[in-house]
Amino acid sequence: MQAGAAEATPGRATRSRSLRAQRETLFYVLISPWIIGFLAFVFGPMMYSGYLSLTKWNLLAPPQFIGMGNYQQLLHDPLFWQSLKVTTIYAVVSVPLGLAFALFLAVLLNQRVRGLSVFRTILYLPSVVSGVAVSVVFMWVFNPSFGIVNSILGYFGIKGPGWIESPTWALPAMILMSLWSVGGAMIIFLAGLQNVPPELHEAAQMDGAGMWRRFFRVTIPLLTPTILFNLILSIINQFQIFTQAYVMTNGGPLNATLFYVFYLWQNAFQYLNMGYAAAMAWILFLIVLVVTVAVFATSRKWVFYQGGE
């Protein structure tokens, strides 16, 4: 009996390994379209752009290898630093402002009122409208002569600024415009709010905690994983702003809205300096990577999970 059991055990182990190998093979077969697509359309072009960043190429002649020449030129390019400055200011202001506004809307939509699904749809719809269409609408909204914003200010006897035609107000106008598309973050915040256990609020209320105390001591700590997720997505998106500058201001006035990706596009498709544009793309990739890693590194101090991990 013991000998038979000993012979049966290796047989079962062999069949188990064979079944595991079949499952692994099936797994790689099923994800192979994604792997092929990633290598062909993401990783491959990235590596080629890394090579192009070391060359001088105008799309007409073969690329000419110049080593680190493009990166050295970037250090002495005032428009590069201007675009980086404008984009950084935009991201630093618009990211927390957008997250706060999205959370505010999510809290409102988390109330029990009639027609809530209608309000959720209305507030989410702007985030799915084409960026070009939104930019055209806001060109009218911020028009200094007959725009709706200055018209409303005029009713109160306030002379409105030049907005997108003013070097001082063009960037603030873009920041205010960014609030139009917080619908995606709002929906994610709403999902996070609905995952907060109601019994925790009930326990805090029994202990005498008021509405604001419960919000900051119960809701916000449990919402920090959602805040982290939205923060990372917002940083990546805001550093890549392009459409508004292209449609509304063309980088002006006086380079006040010369965003990084817009200046990259100018070098690539207006000046046909593809190598220089590729170098700019890699600089942007490294900046976003460093900022994202820094946020993840600090998240251990302020992100809390219900499981205590």
Q: Tens digit of pLDDT for each residue in 295-305?
A: 999 999 999 88
Within a domain: 48: yes
What is the C-alpha to C-alpha distance for residues 250 and 286, in angstroms, rounded to an integer?
26
Q: How high does pLDDT run on average in the chain?
A: 91
pTM: 0.88
Q: What is the pLDDT of residues 151-189, one digit of tens each?
A: 999 999 999 999 999 999 999 999 999 999 899 999 999
Q: What is the pLDDT of residues 207-255, one digit of tens each?
A: 888 889 999 999 999 999 999 999 999 999 999 999 999 999 999 899 9
Same domain, 141 and 273: yes
213: domain CATH number? 1.10.3720.10
Same domain, 18 and 106: no
Same domain, 36 and 86: no
Within a domain: 32: yes
pLDDT score, position 11: 66
The yes-or-no verdict on residue 126 having pLDDT over 80 is yes
Structural domain boundaries enclosing 160: 69-302
Within a domain: 141: yes
pLDDT score, position 1: 47
Total domain count for the chain? Answer: 2
pLDDT score, position 128: 87
